[in-house]
Amino acid sequence: MKSNKIYAFAAAIAMSVSLASCDGEKDLIIIEGKLPIKTSVLYMVGDATPVGWNIDNPLPMEAGADDPLVFAWEGSLFAGELKLCVTTGSWDAGFIRPTYNGAEIGRETVSDAEFVMSAGDPDNKWKVTEPGIYRLVFNLREWTMSSVFVGEASAPEIEPIEADAFYLVGDATPNGWAIDAPNECRKESKYIFIYEGELKPGEMKACTSTGSWDVSFVRPASDGCAIGKNGAEADGFVYTASPDHKWRVTDHGEYRLTFDLEHWKIQAEFIKEIVVEKNPIETETLFMIGDATPNGWSMDNATEFTVDPSDSFIFTWEGDLVTGTFKACTERDGTFSCPFIRPESPDCEISSAGVAAPGFVYTTSPDDQWRVTEAGHYRLTFNLRDWTISAEMTGDKPDLPDTPDDPADAIEAETVYLIGDATPNGWSMDNATEMSATSDRYVFVWEGVLTTGELKACTERDGTFSCPFLRPVTDGCSISRNGVADPALVFTAGDPDNKWRVADAGRYRLTFNLSLRTINAEYLD
């Protein structure tokens, strides 16, 4: 059973310290009751902020003159994520977070929205949806935050970048993400640097020094700006520490990239295509992992394929897949650093129509995966000689338990509880989230915020965790903005410990019907 992931500070915390400086920071003390968070400093950190994820030097907010526990800040934010802290230098301390992951900060004004304070998982963060100038106010007395979109962010001032050397780094480049040994460009003149060589599908950015990620990088103004056979999608770039935007190379080939550090321009020329020789992949075993597979992301329990006795390069597997993603590997490598068999393009779909594109690659990066869009019973076949995959849905959906015809055979319960890191009270059985009974004795309803993560349900608060649980038919069954991938549920104890997986954080209405043995999930906001 997973460790208890209660919001350690959200339900009961106060700071009994007054921090005059970083050197005077003291340990957080947990006190019963949601008392004011007493601190003299408050910081923001995240790729939405000007300082990025630099926990050693986060962005300070200003305490109010009328109330020192009300902190405000006004300035430019990028599209990205952020959270707040009262200490520097440690990711293990408590952070001020939204009540659910991905709570939006954007053009629409937010007034007195509640926040929580917790250490560890779930690592909820605010999501800035649009770059601009914002005014943020955090009230540590009332545990609320407000945001106002003040106006459009001004364009960065372009000043010539003086550099003796210039480098490319990223999984699209020959040296990958080795910041100590990035790919050096040729200096053509004072401000012009040129790279000529191979680029693979993947991501990259550029820098003027080696050995550190805590510097400004040359990057596109918008994340994922494409570089391919048609050149660069946009010719401008920025020079900043955050947000961590990167170019995305779409076509494998030989390129000539020209960087103009005086005018902040990039020119990309596709010289020729590079065809990778696909030699047969020799292996005795093949496995797959992912939230679409029966055993999820567990490398130790990765789902194994069966080799064809008449052809050692053909591997097949047949079973139930749920909506989600997966990739394949030739060994159960607990470090996850091994090469993976992946689709040639990200999120290649697998559905009742088969696989959208049969080709695959065998590489450590980028981390592309197949995406199963329809849950069902599938037969997957990998041909490691030709580097192809086929997918055939052999059943409309996973085998479901029979629906009881007589209510007397339905699941009898006076209460139903939710438990899991996706729920408000985490894996605490003593504090499992109680659902509400309805006029129908078999129908229970709960409405509230779910974070990304897992959940299951039970009919008693059994501290031994040996009781039967309400679970999906297949592990990892998705709950998202589109509802629940498969409404059927089972009521079982022991293994397999199937759980629903919340893909989109937000406010939901969950309905369990214990007579029909179904779950309905409605995304509210």
Q: Are 489 and 477 in contact (CB under 8 A)?
A: no
Confidence of residue 105 (pLDDT cuts 50, 70, 90): very high
Q: Is the pTM of this model over 0.95?
A: no
| Cα 420 to Cα 431: distance, rounded to the nearest angstrom | 11
Q: Which long-range contacts (CB under 8 A, 24 or more apart) does 334-338 make?
A: 334/299, 334/300, 336/299, 337/364, 338/364
Which token pair is 270? 């596709």
CA pair distance 453, 523, nearest whole angstrom: 15
Enter the DSSP assignment of 408.
Answer: G
pLDDT digits (tens, 9 = 90+) for 12-37: 333 333 333 333 333 443 334 468 99
SS (H, E, C) 207-261: ECCCCCCCCCEEECCCCCCEEECCEECCCECEEECCCCCCEEECCCEEEEEEEEC
Q: Are strands 43-45 and 59-60 parallel, antiparallel or unpaired?
A: antiparallel
Architecture per CATH, 287-395: Sandwich (2.60)
Average pLDDT, the chain: 86
Please tell me the distance from the alpha carbon of residue 492 to that of residue 76, in angstroms, as a whole number. Answer: 52
Amino acid letter for position 311: D
| Confidence check: pLDDT of 401 > 70 | no
Q: Which two tokens stand for residue 451?
A: 């974070």
* Distance of alpha carbon 69 from alpha carbon 406, whole angstroms: 59
pLDDT reading at 399 higher than 50: no
**Residue 441 — pLDDT band, cuts 50, 70, 90?**
confident
The span from the first CA to the last CA of the chain, in angstroms, equals: 31
Which residues is 433 bridged to in the sheet?
418
Checking if the pLDDT of 9 tops 60, the result is no
CB 329 within 8 A of CB 289: yes
Angle at 311 between CA 308 and CA 314, to 5 degrees: 60
**Banded pLDDT at 8 (limits 50, 70, 90):** very low
Output DSSP code: residue 23.
G
Sign, CA dihedral 415-418-424-430, equals positive
d(CA 271, CA 229): 8
Instruction: Please list the residues that pair with 34 across neighbouring strands.
Output: 13
* pLDDT tens digits, one per residue of 182-216: 999 999 999 999 999 999 888 899 999 999 988 89
Listed in order, the ranges of the chain carrying CATH 2.60.40.3620 are 13-151, 167-273, 287-395, 407-523
Residues 6+ away with beta carbon under 8 Å from 309: none
Rounded Cα–Cα distance for residues 145 and 119 (Å): 19
The DSSP line for 426-476 is TT-STTPEEPEE-SSTTEEEEEEEE-SEEEEEESS--TTS-S-EEEESSTT
**CB-side neighbour CA atoms (13 Å) of 317:** 18
Compute the distance between CA of residue 173 and CA of residue 154 in angstroms, rounded to an integer: 32
Shortest CA distance to 505 belongs to which of 424, 464, 449, 456?
449
CATH number for 167-273: choose from 3.40.50.1370, 1.10.1740.10, 3.90.1150.200, 2.60.40.3620: 2.60.40.3620
Q: How confident is the model at residue 287 (pLDDT cuts 50, 70, 90)?
A: very high
- Is the per-residue pLDDT at 384 higher than 70? yes
What is the chain's length? 525
Cα separation, 267 vs 257, whole angstroms: 6
User: Tens digits of per-residue pLDDT, 44-82?
Assistant: 998 888 888 889 889 999 999 999 999 999 999 988 899
What's 407-523's CATH class?
A: mainly beta
Tell how strand 110-118 and strand 95-98 pair up: antiparallel
CA 261 to the chain's CA centroid: 33
- Average pLDDT on 473-496 reads 85
Give 130's pLDDT tier (boundaries 50, 70, 90): confident
Q: Are 504 and 522 in contact (CB under 8 A)?
A: no
Percentages of the chain per state (helix, strand, coil), in multiples of 5:
0, 45, 55
For residues 172 and 455, what is the distance between their CA atoms, to the nearest angstrom? 37
Q: Compute the average pLDDT of residues 112-120.
A: 89
In the prediction, which pLDDT does 35 show?
85
Q: How far apart are CA 278 and CA 280, in angstroms?
A: 6
pLDDT at residue 150, as a whole number? 94
The confidence score (pLDDT) of residue 33 equals: 46
Cβ neighbours of 70 (radius 10 Å): 19
pLDDT, tens digit, 9 for 90 and up, residues 352-374: 889 988 999 998 877 889 998 88
Place of tokens 């589109």: 482
| Confidence class for position 296, pLDDT limits 50, 70, 90 | confident
| Amino acid 487: pLDDT | 87
Q: Which CATH architecture has domain 13-151?
A: Sandwich (2.60)
Q: Return the closest-CA partner of residue 506 out of 476, 475, 488, 483.
A: 483
- For position 6, what pLDDT does the model report? 34
Which residues lie across from 119 on neighbouring strands?
A: none
Cα–Cα distance, 244 to 221 (Å, whole number)? 10
Residue 127 in contact with residue 81, Cβ under 8 Å? yes
Choose the most confident range, by mean pLDDT, from 151-160, 377-386, 489-498.
377-386
pLDDT digit string (tens) for 423-434? Answer: 998 898 988 999
Taking alpha carbons only, the member of 233, 238, 235 closest to residue 206 is: 238
